[in-house]
Amino acid sequence: MDFSELLDGLNDKQREAVAAPIGNYLVLAGAGSGKTRVLTHRIAWLIGVENVPEGNIMAVTFTNKAAAEMRHRIESTLAEQRLFGMWVGTFHSIANRLLRAHHLDVDLPQDFQILDADDQLRLIKRLMKLHQFDEKAFPPKQACWYINNKKDEGLRPHHLDAGDDRQEREWIRIYQIYQDACNRAGLVDFAELLLRAYELWLKKPVILARYQQRFQHILVDEFQDTNKIQYDWIRLLAGDTGNVMIVGDDDQSIYGWRGAKIENIQQFLRDYPKAQTIRLEQNYRSTNNILNSANQLISNNHNRLGKDLWTQDGAGEPVGIYAAFNELDEALFVSSQINIWLEDGGKLDDCAVLYRSNSQSRVLEEALIRANIPYRIYGGMRFFERQEIKDALAYLRLIANRQDDAAFERVINTPPRGIGDRTLDILRNLTRERQVTLWQATQIAIHENLLAGRASTALLRFRELINSLQQETEEMPLFAQTDFVIKHSGLYEMYQQEKGEKGEVRIENLEELVSATREFVKPDEVEDMTDLTAFLTHASLEAGETQASPHQACVEMMTLHAAKGLEFPRVFMVGVEEGIFPSAMSLMEQGRLEEERRLAYVGITRAKKKLTISYAESRRLYGKEERHVASRFISELPKECIQEIRLRGTVTRAYNRAATVNASALLNDDAVWKMGQKVKHEKFGIGTIINVEGVESNTRLQIAFQNQGIKWLIAALAKLEKV
């Protein structure tokens, strides 16, 4: 291969970076300017032109997906060459690899287990209880933050001095207790991975020297989101002779809340005074309307390093702004827009839907399912597959059918009620010997005194609980039944006590489940089923069947954080409302608003061809209905680049495709139904039209009734009155 080809398809500035003499570099540039492309080509250049053995290169990316992608891109650039010796990965995966190789040097068993954030919090909780800390004065979640923060700063308990501060002394004690327990059990949390890897360098200069000699070329993508320990680790590894190329964008720093330091960029320039800064200014990703919107938005932040970003691309379509009147309308709007995109020849996997927090996904998921649009949630779990939702559904299933062994197994000891594995084993054996279900086995075990007294009592209580949950909710509408079961099964309380961020999210999701049952409309074909059974069927079908296989073309759904570094021709940013985005929390903490704005900048700059931003004037989230106003970020966009999408426009477009219709007649005629119109139905009462399909005598209306859920009705037959 002629390696000068590596420079084809690059602009002058990019070439300068890719073909720069070996040394230290900062590539500082805005979104979509080719930073990641430069990094990839630089690696290929080092191998192909500078003859650097690939084993001498380490590349750090922000996600594992990005690591795989980079490896793949370099391999294809170099044609057949396989990259065996090169280390490419996230800080965590590289630290993990290092620690496994040198576990003795850092006092870890080779098969040490990694604790995720959830496990970590559970362990801390348990230890704090064991050591009788008052959870009110010392919330476990705060202990978690404390410990992780100290680790991110490279600090062990013995580095810390509380002085006269009693509170601080206690935090340090918790840190110590937790660390001792982890060490005994061979457990390593995420922050610990990085800290141990750093300590390896400090403790074992010989090992450090070996790696310094090996990794003479270090490249780091998304550098603006490195924290202190990550920076120090790189700094030590590079020493004074290593060659480091960092690429980043201060405007895309979105992990400050997790300890990332934008200042690391300046620190790098202080530590490597000879480092050259290369700025890329041409954006290759987005149209002018999208790029100008992003530029204008981010100009509202202060203390930026400052960058110019322009594109040769045309203006493109204006950025669409859609004011939905509620979250269902917003979701339907997104699904109908995706359909229009497809009809226009667009591809499914070119679309991405981005939101601020995972709990916003449910309504969107349901709309996509209804519209038969396959989707994949990237970096998150589908709503009905989440642990807490499955727990709640298992209770409901057991109420509907005592013989559901899977549901039984799931909730028999959730929340914990002292029914251990031994008891369960006896029950499981009984099911085999007597050919009965677990529920029946409990009865046998109790009657025949096969269990210890305590276990027997616990089982009896469990049976009573399930029976009474059924009796007490028999007459209730489905949503009230669901709510009652969540609250009285002990699930709600259990997750409420799990105080960390995860616990809060789980509670929000449980409340979302109640909203889901409230909105659920039993399809006609299952008229005979109880509402509960119909809903459970719906949930399990949704959880299983519509899950797209990894290779199937899908709409990608993800949080804005997860979207960093990615790009899509067609992007929807939803829920862009004050209190959601920027989040309510961010309005209370200094500096957080600017981080939210950077997150908005990240979101906007994911779009290549077409971007639509939407917000809902009223939103039911976490079980509550709230009025919202459009996010300030929308008002910060340049007027000439945006276009409000009015209902009239959307309805007209959808109609034109469905049938021949005279849109203006439709919109002027009194008999015409518009989305958002309040109506009254003889039997169902007051509702709001949330969707209109078909024309003239075929017009079908989807109406959200205040007390009867959502229904599709044929306009000509429904005898609706406008109110």
Q: Please report, in range form, the residues annotated as the binding site for ATP.
A: 29-36
Hey, which residues are catalytic here? 35-36, 221-222, 252, 606
Q: Which partner from the list ligand ATP, Mg ion, none does 32 bind, CB cut-off 5 to 8 Å by kind?
A: ligand ATP
Number of helices and strands (H, E) in the chain?
28, 22
Q: Which helix (H) or strand (E) holds 689?
A: strand 685-693
**Beta carbon of residue 605, minimum distance to Mg ion (angstroms, whole number):** 10
For residues 37 and 356, which CB has a smaller minimum distance to ligand ATP in the complex?
37
Residues 128-147 binding Mg ion (CB under 5 A) are none
Cβ distance to Mg ion smaller for residue 3 or 284: 284
> Within a 10 A sphere around the Cβ of 5, how many other Cβ atoms?
11
Whole-number Å distance between alpha carbons of 396 and 542: 16
Residues 527-546: x where in contact with Mg ion by CB under 5 A, - otherwise, as a string: --------------------
Rounded Cα distance between 324 and 503, Å, is 30
In the bound state with ligand ATP, the residue whose beta carbon lies nearer, of 198 and 255, is 255
Taking CB under 5 A as the criterion, the residue among 565, 575, 579, 709 binding Mg ion is: 565
Which of Mg ion, ligand ATP, none interacts with 31 (beta carbon under 5 to 8 A by kind)? Answer: ligand ATP
Distance from C-alpha of 514 to C-alpha of 622, rounded to nearest angstrom: 9
CB of 337 to ligand ATP, least distance (A): 23
**Shortest Å distance, C-beta 624 to ligand ATP:** 35
User: Is there binding between residue 224 and Mg ion (CB under 5 A)?
Assistant: no
Identify whether the C-beta of residue 423 lies closer than 8 Å to the C-beta of residue 398.
no
Greatest alpha-carbon pair distance for the chain in Å reads 85
Contact status: 14 vs Mg ion (CB under 5 A): no
Q: Are 462 and 412 in contact (CB under 8 A)?
A: yes
Which residues, including other chains, have CB under 8 Å from residue 105's CB and lie 6 or more apart?
A: 200, 203, 204, 207
Smaller CB separation from ligand ATP, 11 or 213: 11
Residue 613 contact, options Mg ion, ligand ATP, none, Cβ 5-8 Å cut-off depending on partner type: none
CB of 608 to ligand ATP, least distance (A): 8
Span interacting with Mg ion, options 27-35, 97-105, 318-326, 384-392, rule CB under 5 A: 27-35
SS3 229: helix
Q: Give the shortest CB-248-to-Mg ion separation in angstroms.
A: 9
**Please, which residues have CB within 8 angstroms of residue 704's CB and are 6 or more apart in sequence?**
326, 328, 519, 687, 688, 690, 710
The annotation places the binding site at 29-36
Segment lying near Mg ion (by CB under 5 A), choices 35-43, 104-112, 161-169, 682-690: 35-43
Shortest Cβ contact with Mg ion: which residue? 36
Yes or no: say if 437 and 403 are a contact pair by the CB < 8 Å rule. Answer: yes
Cα 428 from chain centroid (whole Å): 38
Which parts of this chain interact with ligand ATP (CB under 6 A)? Answer: 9-11, 14, 29, 31-37, 249, 252, 284-285, 565, 567, 605
Residue 33 binds: one of ligand ATP, Mg ion, none (C-beta under 5 to 8 A by kind): ligand ATP
Choose between 378 and 484: whose C-beta lies nearer to ligand ATP. 378
349 within 8 A of 475, measured Cβ to Cβ: no
Strand pairing partners for 721? 680
Strand, helix or coil for residue 46? helix
Residue 182's contacts (CB-CB under 8 Å, 6 or more residues apart) are 115, 123, 188, 189, 192
Residue 33 or 226 with smaller CB distance to ligand ATP = 33
DSSP state of 181: H
- In the complex, the smallest distance separating the C-beta of residue 38 from ligand ATP, rounded to whole angstroms, is 7
Q: Which residues bind Mg ion (CB under 5 A)?
A: 35-36, 565
